Structure 1
Amino acid sequence: AEFGVDPCIDERVDSAIRGINTGPFCIQDRSKNYIIRAITADGRRITLFNDWTAKIRQSGDMWQYEYEYTHYYYRENIVAAVCATADAVKCPCKPFDK
């Protein structure tokens, strides 16, 4: 699946994926700023926060997975996700806090 273009993304890092039903989805590494790049159930390409309260779990419905960020009560049905690094130099916005 193509995860779209995001100017903040430095590179996709499949080895950083910890797995589903656990938070955070990507490993925590202070030397890198991992974020989650995902495809939603309606086809949008989005960037999601990789926090210890954020997890991707199997939903059991036709969309297969659900991203849940309990700190802000945010949920999104997704069909695919990967870990990526955010590049503070390329990113036109303020980078996520670690």
Structure 2
Amino acid sequence: MENIRAGSSKSIGPMSQIVSRLWNGIFAQATRKFDPQEARIQEYRTENPDTQAQLAYIAKCTFNTKKKGKKLDAVAFQIIQQTQENIRQELLNGGFQ
């Protein structure tokens, strides 16, 4: 495996991929809170049969609208805050200060 120094341009690509996967996973969790049965997602795919869009994109189109506001983003940030608090608590429980 190749060594990558922090701050080098070689670290941007892999880091970007990791962040993208993480963010899409968070959006998927947020989507399931709004649409546990994925009925709205399926409805979008039925109405747009030619699309190969991923869940995160469809969820943004469905739940982040001008009329409805940025509901999906708000839930995603709640998930991040909860996860951050859980990690902090785990570190404290493990003796990390």
Q: TM-score range by the shorter chain?
A: under 0.3
Greater length-normalized contact order (CA 8 Å, ≥ 6 residues apart): 1
Query: Comparing both structures, which one devotes a greater share of its residues to helix?
Result: 2
Query: Comparing both structures, which one devotes a greater share of its residues to strand?
Result: 1
The higher radius of gyration belongs to 2
